Structure 1
Amino acid sequence: MEEAGIIVKRAIDGLAIASTLNCTVPDLILINEDSPYGSGWLITYKVRLARYNGPVWLYGPRPPRYQISRNFCGVDVIIEYGGVLSRLLSDVEKRTRQQLDEAEDLSATMDTDCVESRNVPRSAKPSF
């Protein structure tokens, strides 16, 4: 991911994530549901309590078990990777590229709208 220009920070537990959030605001937080350092669900909830509003993706080797927990904790995406780390990496890269492409498309659309509104003759603009 770093080769694609994405800055990656590793935080193994909730405390490390909180510390990272004090220093920087990440574009994405990726949390292991079955973390040996604590429940991924609890870590996700703590991230939301720290007022992080960016995307939070939870990954695990099995399908999601708790839809209610997902909504309560504020998880945006759940990734099932079957325990195959290369599959997880591939899925995260694909989803990240997709989000970047969507953001670029939105930005281009907004820029075009702004340029077009600047080129409208004064007589064509509504008067209030």
Structure 2
Amino acid sequence: MKQVDCVGNPNYFADLSCKIVTPRNRDVEASVNIVQKLSVLSGSLRVSIPNARKVKTQIFDIIFDVCKVLRERKRKILIDLLVNSLSRNSNIKAWKCPFQKGRFESKNISVASLPPALTESEFFVNLDFLYPKWVR
């Protein structure tokens, strides 16, 4: 990995941090302080790869209900990899909704379990968690 950025709405998240673990640059650590209980959360996962002209071609674009994904066992493979990677080394005992106020951390989020087509070439991942406007 070369770069990771974490940005959050301060109405919901404080002390948001993510960093690439050196020296191998194959793992990420992330932490966040949730400042108010979140009963609903949506997610968007987009993966793209650049071609020879550095134009990005989107190969995955998945929008999902985070709470539904956590409740159900049948998930799309990339979402399942994401949930497993985030929960493997986190301080959260049980990933479920609503998300309570407090500090959450996940260490050693690895790209090693991604499909080989991605790990053998350059790719871009955009993962967003959104609090729907209609909930307010």
- TM bucket (normalised to shorter chain) is under 0.3
* TM-score where L is the length of structure 2: 0.24
Richer in strand (by share): 2
Richer in helix (by share): 1
* TM-score where L is the length of structure 1: 0.25
